[in-house]
Amino acid sequence: MNKKINTTLIICAVFLFCAVSCNNNNNQTSENMETENNTNSTSVLPRGERGSSDWFTGEVYVQGLVKPEEIEGLYSVGQVTFEPGGKTNWHTHPIGQVLLVTEGKGWYQERGKPAQPLTPGTVVTIPKDVEHWHGAAKDSKMVHIAISNIQDSSAVTWLNPVTDEEYNDL
């Protein structure tokens, strides 16, 4: 009788050990993935590649979502992740652009106008050829989906970086 109980206890102990170990392994895997992605983003989409410092200031990641050739070369659709302080250069779009903010806090500013705050759910409609920039707040990341029309194989004309003076004044 005692032997039977002991055997049962050992089986239970082994099972529990396995369950805890497996659970720990799962946690470790997701931690590793988080470290590899270096992000706490809750986006269901990949963060993508680091954006060029020719076009962005700070830590910005760009993930293309639709190949333009799949939609007659008419649109560019992508997710942009701005870490705190990350932002685009000033730029224009030949036809226009729509931004759908999905995470965090940031700013959208047209030249000569006050900056507008961006929060999850904000939709920004940017007219063609209007000089502007978008990016994260100083103390928060910001993620948006950007849909841009393409004209003559180009969706954007890049201009100068946003200066610290322009950004710090916000």
How far is the C-alpha of 2 from the C-alpha of 50, rounded, in Å? 64
* Nearest distance in Å: CB 93, Mn ion: 6
Quick one: 79 or 97, whose CB is closer to Mn ion? 97
Number of H helices, E strands in the chain: 2, 13
By beta-carbon proximity to Mn ion, the closer residue of 128 and 138 is: 128
> What does the block give as tokens for 55?
């076009």
For residue 141, give the nearest of 29, 65, 42, 46 by alpha carbon.
Answer: 42
Q: How far is the CB of 137 from Mn ion (least distance, A)?
A: 17
Q: Beta-carbon neighbour count of residue 21 at 10 Å?
A: 10
Residue (34 or 117) nearer to Mn ion, CB: 117
Written as six digits, the tokens of 86 are: 């990350």
Q: Is residue 57 involved in binding Mn ion (CB under 5 A)?
A: no
**Position 109 contacts Mn ion (CB under 5 A):** no
Q: How far apart are CA 82 and CA 99, in angstroms?
A: 13
Tokens of 162: 């946003």
Min dist CB 124 to Mn ion, Å, is: 9
Q: Nearest approach, Cβ of 134 to Mn ion (angstroms)?
A: 6
Contact 81, 135 (CB under 8 A): no
Comparison of 97 and 109: residue with beta carbon closer to Mn ion = 97
Residue closest to Mn ion (Cβ): 97
Pick from 84, 72, 77, 70: nearest CA to 40: 84
Q: How far is the CB of 166 from Mn ion (least distance, A)?
A: 16
Instruction: Provide the mask over 77-106, with x wherever binding to Mn ion is found by CB under 5 A and - wherever it is not.
Output: --------------------x---------
**Closest CB to Mn ion among 76 and 97?**
97
Binding-site ranges for Mn ion (CB under 5 A): 97
